[in-house]
């Protein structure tokens, strides 16, 4: 069907869609045809989407019926689009664009008898991540890089995925190619459950019970909500089929890892990755070595809280401000670099952050990390989120996790507030558990064993809901803006 619309080798095909079977078909069909699947984040504004598509100039777009309101606001601003294919519906006509119903287009198409020979280093997908400067940045995933990433995801000590699993793929297919899990599932014969648009905790738990899900992957914000829903109504859902879940894209708290394990027998596999690396970098299951098998339950929670070892094929390094390697003692922190088989070699278009890709193939991740003597990496912070107080760095992420572990707290995020005397001071935002209350003094007492007084937040602001980014992570940029508004007023 796509071929009949003129899609061929090298052509990007945009999707504005949720996780469903038609989207999955396109994930497989477009690369096999030699094109590049280009899943666009449905949560972006029209301006952000136009800024990405204006560079990639996709001629064909697949559009979900639930995004019908985008037709009038978005499509007239994309004159390069010639065909829009409605997933399960017929989009209304727009001047200059031919509209198709996906199912009718498929029914009319002839089977392809021969597949094209493709260069393994050609693009099979385009993925964009929202930038902090200069708008979204786009990278190409090649057939080679995605194939290698997919093979690595199938390794036993990664997430133990197999043809006996039923995987609930919660991570949106527009977020870094759904972490390549749709491909890993296709390769292994894993049964896939695709949740479409509604990612509320109750809906996800309904799917888990109904389809006897054994494993699932999502960002910690989703897992916190799922755990809270389970705790509120422990009898409502049957989660006995679930063996392990993957939490990636942001740091999980130890209390979340412990809660799933101790109350529901579910292992949380911590994962770190980024769009620029196709995208999974570490997967850290609870036990991969004899030494880890001997850990006591508390040690194991600590072990699962670190991002872990890189997947085979990747190298992680940490360097100081002079570019020297820092000691691998698990304490010394510095700039995290990553290189290897599925690390992109640059953004597709000029971008202010292009120089993060070094000529020697190493990528400056923008993360601050440490590595221990067993090769396990811990993310300490985003470089831009560190708080510099009196010339000393304070990790906002470590405070987020420590405050997030308090029983009164559902989610916590610490940001820097400009300060005349110290340069910057940490300020905490929290959402509280139902019926809970918390004051700054209680937080400071609870943190006293782990943090020095000067490292603790100066203020505590309860908020009803945490602002989230388009990929479901806590949005510290929005919290900084909120704090500035509060300071101004
Ligand atoms: P994105 O490409 O939008 O998914 O963002 C990638 C960034 O998310 C990384 O560079 C990290 O800053 C952050 N991130 C991903 N996984 C983790 C994790 N397990 N812990 C802490 N931060 C993470």
Tens-place pLDDT, residues 105-131: 999 999 888 899 999 999 999 999 876
Mean pLDDT in residue range 280-292? 96
Q: Are 331 and 323 in contact, with CB atoms under 8 Å apart?
A: no
Q: Are 197 and 66 in contact (CB under 8 A)?
A: yes
The 10s digit of each residue's pLDDT in 376-391 is 999 999 999 999 998 8
3-state DSSP assignment of residue 461: strand
Residue-level pLDDT at 131: 65
- The pLDDT assigned to 132 comes to 61
Q: Is 289 a catalytic residue?
A: no
Residue 485 is predicted with a pLDDT of 87
Give the mean pLDDT of 310-314.
Answer: 97
Q: Which of 3, 317, 364, 393 is catalytic?
A: 393
Residue 130 has what pLDDT? 79
Task: Report the pLDDT averaged over residues 252-270.
Answer: 97
The pLDDT of residue 120: 97
Which is catalytic among the residues 276, 365, 378, 476?
276
Q: Confidence band (pLDDT; 50, 70, 90) for 133? A: low
The pLDDT value given to residue 2: 96
Residue of 121, 289, 302, 388 marked catalytic: 388
- Evaluate if residue 259 carries a pLDDT over 70: yes
How do residues 389-431 score in pLDDT, each as one tens digit? 988 889 999 999 999 999 999 999 999 999 998 899 999 999 9
- 60 pLDDT higher than 70: yes
Pocket test for ligand 1, best of 218, 253, 272 (most atoms within 8 A of CB): 272
pLDDT of residue 392: 86
pLDDT of residue 367: 96
Give yes or no: 388 in active site.
Answer: yes
The pLDDT of 189-199, averaged and rounded, is 98
Res 487 pLDDT > 80: no
Mean pLDDT of 124-148: 90
What distance in angstroms lies between residue 270's CA and the mean position of ligand 1's atoms? 11
- Kindly write down the DSSP assignment for every residue of 384-436, as one continuous string: GG-EEETTEEE-HHHHHHHHHTSTTEEEEEEEEEEETTTEEEEEEEEEEPTT-
The kind and range of the H/E element at 457 are none
Mutate to test the pocket of ligand 1, among 52, 180, 273 (most ligand atoms within 8 A of CB): 273
Q: How far is CA 303 from CA 152, 221, 257, 393, in A?
A: 21, 21, 11, 24
Mean pLDDT, all residues of the chain:
95
**422 noted as active-site residue:** no
User: Residue 384 Cα, ligand 1 centroid: separation in angstroms?
Assistant: 13
CA distance between the termini of the chain: 57
Mean pLDDT of 210-233: 97
- pLDDT tier, 37 (very low <50, low <70, confident <90, very high otherwise): very high
pLDDT at 450 over 80: yes
Q: Which atom of ligand 1 is nearest to the CA of 282?
A: 19
Q: What pTM was estimated for this model as a whole? A: 0.93
Tell me the mean pLDDT in the region 214-225. 96
Residue 177 scores a pLDDT above 80: yes
CB contact at 8 A, 265 and 271: no
Q: What is the pLDDT of residue 219?
A: 94
């Amino acid at each position: 069907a796509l071929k009949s619309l003129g899609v061929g080798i090298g052509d990007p095909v945009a999707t504005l869609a949720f996780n469903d079977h038609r989207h999955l078909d396109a994930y497989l069909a477009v690369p096999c045809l030699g094109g590049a699947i280009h899943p666009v984040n449905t949560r972006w504004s029209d301006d952000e989407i136009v800024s990405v598509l204006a560079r990639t100039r996709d001629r064909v777009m697949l559009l979900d019926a639930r995004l019908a309101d985008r037709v009038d606001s978005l499509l007239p601003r994309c004159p390069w689009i010639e065909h829009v294919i409605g997933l399960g519906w017929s989009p209304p006509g727009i001047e200059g664009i031919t509209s198709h119903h996906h199912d009718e287009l498929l029914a009319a198409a002839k089977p392809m008898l021969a597949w094209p020979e493709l260069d393994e280093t050609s693009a099979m997908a385009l993925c964009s991540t929202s930038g902090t400067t200069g708008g979204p940045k786009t990278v190409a995933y090649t057939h080679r890089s995605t194939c290698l990433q997919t093979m690595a995801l199938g390794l036993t000590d990664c997430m133990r995925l197999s043809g006996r699993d039923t995987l609930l793929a919660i991570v949106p297919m527009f977020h870094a190619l759904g972490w390549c899990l749709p491909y890993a599932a296709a390769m292994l014969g894993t049964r896939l459950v695709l949740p479409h648009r509604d990612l509320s905790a109750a809906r996800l738990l309904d799917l888990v019970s109904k389809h006897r899900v054994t494993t699932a992957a999502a960002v910690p914000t989703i897992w916190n909500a799922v755990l809270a829903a389970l705790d509120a109504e422990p009898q409502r859902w049957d989660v006995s089929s679930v063996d392990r879940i993957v939490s990636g894209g942001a740091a999980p708290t130890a209390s979340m890892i412990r809660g799933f394990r101790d109350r529901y027998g579910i292992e949380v596999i911590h994962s770190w990755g980024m769009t620029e690396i196709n995208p999974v970098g570490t997967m850290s299951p609870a036990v991969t070595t004899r030494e880890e098998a001997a850990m006591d339950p508390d040690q194991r929670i600590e072990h699962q809280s670190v991002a872990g070892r890189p997947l085979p094929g990747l190298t992680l390094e940490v360097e100081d401000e002079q570019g020297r390697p820092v000691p691998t003692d698990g304490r010394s922190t510095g700039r995290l670099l990553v290189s290897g088989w599925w690390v992109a070699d640059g953004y597709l278009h000029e971008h202010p952050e292009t120089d993060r890709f070094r000529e020697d193939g190493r990528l400056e991740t923008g993360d601050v990390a440490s590595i221990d003597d067993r090769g396990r990496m811990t993310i300490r912070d985003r470089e831009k989120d560190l708080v510099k107080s009196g010339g000393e760095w304070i990790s906002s992420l470590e405070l987020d996790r420590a405050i997030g572990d308090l029983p009164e707290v559902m989610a916590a995020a610490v940001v820097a507030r400009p300060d005349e005397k110290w340069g910057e001071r940490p300020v905490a935002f929290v959402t509280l558990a139902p019926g809970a209350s918390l004051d700054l003094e209680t937080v400071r007492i609870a943190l006293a064993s782990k943090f020095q007084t000067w490292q603790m937040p100066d203020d505590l602001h309860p908020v009803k809901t945490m602002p989230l980014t388009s990929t479901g992570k806590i949005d510290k940029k929005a919290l900084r803006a909120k704090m500035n508004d509060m300071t101004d007023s």
